[in-house]
Amino acid sequence: MTSSETSSVLDLAPVVPVVVVEEAADAVPLARALVAGGLPAIEVTLRTPAALDAIRAIAAEVPDAVVGAGTVISPANVTDAVTAGARFLVSPGWTETLLGAMRESGVPFLPGVSTTSEVVALLEHGVREMKFFPAEAAGGTAYLKSLAGPLPQARFCPTGGVSPANAPAYLALKNVGCVGGSWMLPADAVTAKDWARVETLAREAAALRAQGRTRS
């Protein structure tokens, strides 16, 4: 999967924007702004009627973007998202049925976990890269730090309550590859189609890994 010749979503950028697209026409300029700011991996959540059209548009018109689908909760979501052009899948949680569908899709996926048992179960299935959700509510950096000792083979993308203030602390953890969030897409900027502001916020988000390294 490129922007980067890597098969891991966790290694594309320090932050994966979690995007809720209300108007499909916004998808391409929004994606271009995020990519220009250094955030090529873009998770479009399947929460709105415009989501699949947004994925199609980004896949077709923004070649430097690696567009994925989030809030994937059923095999039908998997099929629809991949057909639309999604290059990775993200779920808030997982079941055996959903995990099977994501595995069969042929694209990278991040199943969601919030407990140690869920992590162990995924490791049994050979899955080592996961979404940690809802990150802050489920224990935050302290919880993930505790998992690193007994389960060092698991890597995470924490999402849910992650912000510019706490993202560096997450990114400083050895078992965190990236974080997910939507702060670089404030509603007023999207409504005003202020893509320059989105690009600026994306650039600031892309620099957060360096801040995390200073803490480690």
Under 8 Å CB-to-CB from 187, ≥6 apart: which residues?
none
Pairing of strands 179-181, 15-19: parallel
Which residues partner with 130 through β-bridges?
156
Q: What is the widest separation between alpha-carbon atoms in the chain?
A: 47
Lookup result for tokens 């890994």: 209
Catalytic residue among 22, 124, 131, 193: 131
Cβ proximity of 195 and 29 under 8 Å: yes
Catalytic residue among 5, 23, 43, 199: 43
Taking the CB of residue 62, how many other CB atoms lie within 10 A of it?
20
Whether 193 sits among the annotated catalytic residues: the reply is no
Whether 43 sits among the annotated catalytic residues: the reply is yes
Separation of alpha carbons 141 and 161, rounded Å: 11
Please give the C-alpha separations between residue 49 and each of 125, 192, 196, in angstroms, as whole numbers: 33, 21, 26
Residue type at 131 in one-letter notation = K
Catalytic residues, which ones?
43, 131
